């Protein structure tokens, strides 16, 4: 895998780690250890194949993540075997406090990225379930070495994915929380803020996540 393909996920992981630094020790580890272990096992069961999308692992240094509340993660790049489109996925789990903190609209700005489109809520309806995610386009500080990114993110504790204005408050009663980042590198033919391959992948991924993360729901 080329370095350019790894960078978006690596950047997202740095964001998650730095966001959890302040809040990483608020929860009692002993009280949630059983639930954390179950969450880690569920992450491991997320399939590598999602419809026509085939996943490959993205190599990321995982040393010390538990110090910041990140107790499990998957970092993958999925490619559509029919169209060649690619989407990167970062899915983490851990104690609610550190996982619920702010998203890329705050942290990517600190890394030099500029918001290139208004943040909007993306709603995905499947059967009787309504999921919500934040989404936005971000321009890197150097367009010669990096591509703009379209990032979609949301949280869930035990059911539908949500994009609340204040996730730490909304999930304050939950011990364990999952956070999903969907990251697409934009090419010149992509229109800012418009639907694309990431929408198709997300619609196919959601029922897979529901089955894997909440098998008894």
d(C-alpha 166, C-alpha 163), whole Å:
9
Please report the DSSP string for 44-98 in residue order. HTS-SEETTEEEEEPP---TTGGGGTEEEEEEEEEEETTT--EEEEEEEEEEHHH
CA distance readout (Å), 42 to 17, 75, 114, 210: 21, 14, 35, 10
pTM, two decimals, is 0.82
d(C-alpha 147, C-alpha 81), whole Å:
22
Which residues have a Cβ under 8 Å from the Cβ of 174 and sit 6 or more positions away?
Answer: 96, 157, 158
pLDDT value of position 22: 42
Tens place of pLDDT per residue across the chain (217 aa): 444 445 556 666 565 555 544 444 444 566 678 888 899 999 999 999 999 999 999 887 776 666 667 888 999 999 999 999 999 999 999 988 889 886 777 767 767 788 888 889 999 998 889 999 999 888 887 776 678 888 999 999 988 999 999 999 999 999 899 999 999 988 765 554 444 678 889 999 999 999 999 987 6
d(C-alpha 188, C-alpha 132), whole Å:
27
Identify the bridge partners of residue 94 per DSSP, sorted by sequence position.
70, 177
């Amino acid at each position: 895998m080329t370095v350019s393909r790894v960078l978006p996920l690596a950047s997202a992981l740095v964001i998650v780690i730095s966001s959890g630094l302040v809040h990483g020790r608020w929860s009692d580890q002993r009280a949630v250890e059983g639930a954390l272990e179950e969450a880690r096992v569920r992450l491991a069961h997320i399939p590598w194949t999602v419809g026509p999308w085939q996943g490959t692992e993205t190599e990321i240094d995982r040393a010390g993540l538990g110090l910041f509340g990140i107790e499990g993660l998957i970092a993958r790049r999925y490619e559509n075997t029919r169209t060649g489109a690619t989407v990167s996925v970062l899915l983490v789990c851990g104690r609610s406090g550190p996982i619920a903190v702010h998203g890329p609209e705050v942290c990517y700005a600190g890394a030099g990225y500029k918001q290139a489109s208004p943040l909007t809520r993306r709603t995905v309806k499947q059967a009787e379930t309504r999921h919500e995610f934040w989404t936005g386009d971000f321009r890197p500080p150097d367009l010669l070495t990096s591509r703009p990114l379209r990032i979609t993110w949301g949280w869930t504790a035990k059911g539908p994915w949500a994009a609340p204005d204040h996730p730490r408050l909304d999930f304050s009663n939950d011990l364990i929380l999952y956070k999903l980042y969907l990251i697409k590198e934009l090419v010149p033919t992509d229109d800012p803020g418009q639907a694309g391959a990431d929408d198709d992948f997300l619609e196919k991924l959601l029922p897979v996540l529901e089955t894997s993360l909440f098998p008894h729901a």
